[in-house]
Structure 1
């Protein structure tokens, strides 16, 4: 018998396919200890938030595609087209940085609401960005270019 409200992990057992009048059956999973169940729940919560925040990258992706399209259509010597490529490039670099800053702010706000989950998420963000900086030349380049774009006209 499953306790209400549910304690631990619960799964649904489907009725036999030929019995359309049967109700769904919920069963409690007993494969994990309470501590393992808690860790699984925490991981699921963090992953759910991570996937929702990946959507924040859409603006940066769009800016990148606009830059790429403008670059493909560039006609040599057209000063207005060159200025447009420059503008699209700056927009991409800034959108990429804005994506990272919004993500960091989201984590900071999450920590205020739930310190435990916020701390887990903050560590995940830190690990991912540090690993990207250490192993991905494109990330390092984007980071450096952002600094250049911000300070180029000082």
Structure 2
């Protein structure tokens, strides 16, 4: 793993966290507050904030690592990033929300919004990976 991997992984982690805050801390905030009795209280949740950072770091570096293996060539198309983001959503976030819906008494509408927003987030992250191009050769000075 080279410097480019770590830079791309860090950028992906930050972008994933930003999208997570936008979706879950902004767009879905009212839904979560309406069902606050199903979640940890804010003091207890804030005490575990480090685990949120770890989770988004795993998302960012994991997606970067996997993208480099799925698309080893340095040039990829925008469509490849969207496809990659869709696959990541299909094997992670979407089933997770369905399972949480079964196990927790959350409304179907909330689960649907979680699925839609997290799917869009994964598509954007896949597109970001294409732009970052983690397999691109490093730039060098001409001889």
Higher relative contact order (CA 8 A, sep 6+): 2
Q: Same fold (TM over 0.5)?
A: no
Structure whose alpha-carbon radius of gyration is higher = 1
The interval holding the TM-score normalised by the smaller chain is 0.3 to 0.5
TM-score, normalised relative to structure 1: 0.33
TM-score, normalised relative to structure 2: 0.35
**Which structure carries more strand by proportion?**
1
